[in-house]
Amino acid sequence: MTAERFDETYYSRFYGSSPVHTRSRIAHLANGVSGLFGWWGLRLQTVLDVGAGPGYWRDWFAEYRPRVMYRSVDVSEYACEQYGHEQRDISTWTPGAPTDLVVCQGVLQYLANAAATAAIANLTAGTRHVLYLEVPTLHDRDHVVDQDFTDLDCHWRSGEWYRKRLQPNFVQVGAGLWARRGGAVPFYELERSR
């Protein structure tokens, strides 16, 4: 993956007239994830957004949770200049102190296997409580995504490939959420995967 790939043309294509994600859809997602922190009895004080793109999560936190300390990073020089993120490559950069929530949406599929594995280790190091992870898999490519509006030029891997790397440190709790193993929430058996 090269940072140059995610230039103005990329953002125009995937966030222009037919965006992959819209501000309103991310607002629903951010509201739901934040609400689950409350349901689980966790305090949401810090957020790290990896691959922050147009900054929809940042905008939501600024409006609805302004006391939450939010940090956004992206590999794209264009996105960093346009939307005000720090330029970081999660496959080579390890966050400092862990944050309560790490958001990683639409990043790992662009990384080759070794870089994606390193990125998962760095995401793990940066997560205190919960990781929100969105990454399309081979199954998704064939059965879920709209191929007319999805960037198909990426590394397609099985869900099992990701689970194998996430499960030593996280419990899958659904809807893209992964809670740290041994964390503060004692999930019911049917609220989590094994």
- What is the predicted pLDDT for the residue at 45? 98
* 61 contacts 30 by C-beta, under 8 angstroms: yes
Task: Give me the domain span that covers residue 160.
Answer: 3-183
Q: What sign for the dihedral angle of Cα 14, 18, 23, 25? A: negative
- What is the predicted pLDDT for the residue at 15? 72
| CA–CA dist 58, 37 (Å, integer) | 17
Number of domains in the chain: 1
Between 17 and 152, residue with greater pLDDT: 152
Q: Is residue 28 packed enough to be buried (19+ CB in 10 Å), middle (13-18) or exposed (0-12)?
A: exposed
For residue 1, what pLDDT band results from cuts at 50, 70 and 90?
A: low
- What is the predicted pLDDT for the residue at 153? 85
| pLDDT cut 90: percent of the chain above it | 81
- What is the predicted pLDDT for the residue at 2? 63
pLDDT at 176 over 60: yes
For residue 19, what pLDDT band results from cuts at 50, 70 and 90?
A: low
State the chain's mean pLDDT as an integer.
Answer: 93
Tell whether 130 is covered by a domain. Answer: yes
Tell whether 138 is covered by a domain. Answer: yes
Q: Minimum mean pLDDT among 15-19, 101-105, 126-130: which range?
A: 15-19
Q: Token digits for 23? A: 């501000």
Could you tell me how many residues make up the chain? 194
Tell whether 190 is covered by a domain. Answer: no
Q: What is the CATH number of the domain that holds 32?
A: 3.40.50.150
Tell whether 25 is covered by a domain. Answer: yes
Tell whether 79 is covered by a domain. Answer: yes
Mean pLDDT over 124-137 rounds to 98
pLDDT at 44 over 60: yes
| CA–CA dist 80, 52 (Å, integer) | 9
Tell whether 28 is covered by a domain. Answer: yes
For residue 11, what pLDDT band results from cuts at 50, 70 and 90?
A: low
